[in-house]
Amino acid sequence: MNYTTQMDAAKKGIITKEMEVVAKKEQIEVEKLRELIAKGQVVIPANKNHKSLSAEGVGKNLRTKVNVNLGISRDCMDVDKEMEKVKTAIDMNIEAIMDLSSYGKTREFREKLIDVSPAMIGSVPIYDAVGYLDKELKDITEEEFLNVIRQHAIDGVDFITIHAGLTRSVCKKIKNNDRLTHIVSRGGSLLFAWMELNDKENPIYTNFDKILDICEEYDVTVSLGDACRPGSIADSTDGVQIDELIVLGELTKRAWARNVQVMIEGPGHMAIDEIEANVVLQKRICHGAPFYVLGPLVTDIAPGYDHITSAIGGALASAKGVDFLCYVTPAEHLRLPNLEDMKEGIIATKIAAHAGDIAKNVAGAREWDNKMSKARVDLDWEEQFKLCIDPEKARRYREESRPTHEDSCTMCGKMCSMRTVKKILKNEEVSLI
């Protein structure tokens, strides 16, 4: 039986090879997975032209996935240096890479990325439009925007972020609203500018059906971007954000009618006590579609440490039902992340995702922690390193401060609680001098 997309296959009762891969990774029955995909509650972003892909699922009952943002820009155009980050991110077993390239040899980078990456690849085509077309923003035509989207699909991008919910009605409310940080979404701000400069409706909204044609042809998942996400805790959960979310819910149904898979993007900056309500609201308004968030950052005052502010918010968001976390690095709000920034951002976000998975009782999550606890009780340092989320750092810390007694560490030495209790339980002598 033929099918066009993973969702189309799922609705027809077909088990695809991608579904089988994901079911095995997630320790879930493949038939149950198929049902969730048919309902739109799980997506498998898998472009037909991404040949190196190791499929991942995003959504209900699955592990919380982590995305890494990379790409070249006007100030940092070194493709080889960015590919070094790609290799490191892949070695760290991330599930997704978003190519946010906006200037220079963007297609060269994208093609190299897709060629080597087993991780799913996302992009924001509007970022690429100005450089790819070599035209000022206001002069880009609606057809040219579609051409850039089509090129990304042809190249093998698995999911695209499009800011289709930023209608003129929503824009009017932005202009009449006392938002502290206005529009902080780069894609949203570009579309807002284009709409104002050309006195037209959002071309991504008016051409949504044509975009679905492209996505259906190549099985590209639509990630409905939140152009109006709050860029400060002062703006979180305001009327502008909610108005756009309502539009995204309507667009979700239109995409599903065409068997195009959908994710919904979300905040952003948000006070910690608003996170759970936002997750519930998104899931309700957008009919249970997978939820993909940046952070959320729970305070605005920590530049240089925003991998921590976002991990705090990300852990709670994941625990309450968020399916996909976009990493935030220590360089957020300050500069393009370097290799070390990227690594710190990945680790912080992976910790947040796993903490959420424990709360959601995702298959295998608690078992990992239990194995680590057993290795600690056994004072088995090699097993602890093996189970670490960052083995290199853990091993380096121990090597930098070696204990007198190898079955302890320099924090407690012979007073190590694990060592003491273990000896007592074995009826052995306890000597602390």
Examine residue 5 and state whether it is found in any structural domain, yes or no. no
226 annotated ligand-binding residue: yes
Tens-level pLDDT at each residue, the chain (433 residues): 799 999 999 999 999 999 999 999 999 999 999 999 999 999 999 999 999 999 999 999 999 999 999 999 888 889 999 999 999 999 999 999 999 999 888 999 999 999 999 999 999 999 999 888 888 999 999 999 999 999 999 999 999 999 999 999 999 999 988 899 999 999 999 999 999 999 999 999 999 999 999 999 999 999 999 999 999 999 999 999 999 999 999 999 999 999 999 999 999 999 999 999 999 999 999 999 999 999 999 999 999 999 999 999 999 999 999 999 999 999 999 999 999 999 999 999 999 999 999 999 999 999 999 999 999 999 999 999 999 999 999 999 999 999 887 878 889 888 989 889 988 999 988 888 7
Residues 337 and 394 grouped into a single domain: no
AA letter at 198: N
Question: In this structure, is residue 126 part of a structural domain?
Answer: yes
Query: Is 215 assigned to a binding site?
Result: no
Determine the pLDDT at residue 291. Answer: 98
Domain total of the chain: 3
In a domain, 6, yes or no: no
Residue 108 counted as an annotated binding residue: no
Question: Is 186 annotated to bind ligand?
Answer: yes
* Per-residue confidence (pLDDT) for residue 228, from 0 to 100: 96
- Asked whether residue 321 falls in the same domain as residue 424, the answer is no
Q: Are residues 391 and 345 in the same domain?
A: no
Do 205 and 163 fall within a single domain? yes
Is 187 labelled as part of a ligand binding site? yes
The pTM score is 0.95
Q: Known binder of ligand: residue 235?
A: no
SS3 162: strand
Q: How far is CA 424 from the centre of its chain?
A: 47
> Is residue 228 annotated as involved in ligand binding?
yes
* pLDDT recorded at residue 69: 97
Question: Is 3 annotated as contributing to ligand binding?
Answer: no
Q: Tell me if 388 is assigned to a ligand binding site.
A: no
Task: Classify residue 7: in a domain, yes or no.
Answer: no
Whether residue 293 sits in one domain with residue 387: no
Enclosing domain of residue 395: 366-400
Smallest CA-to-CA distance from 108 within 79, 147, 85, 145 is with: 79
Do 135 and 230 share a domain, yes or no? yes
Does 265 show up as a binding residue in the annotation?
A: yes
Please report whether residue 19 resides in a domain.
no
Together in a domain, 259 and 342: yes
Domain annotation covers residue 35: no
Rounded Cα–Cα distance for residues 201 and 95 (Å): 35
Tell me: is residue 333 an annotated ligand-binding position: yes
Q: Please indicate if the annotation marks 185 as binding a ligand.
A: yes
Contact 56, 44 (CB under 8 A): yes
Confirm whether residue 98 is marked as ligand binding: yes
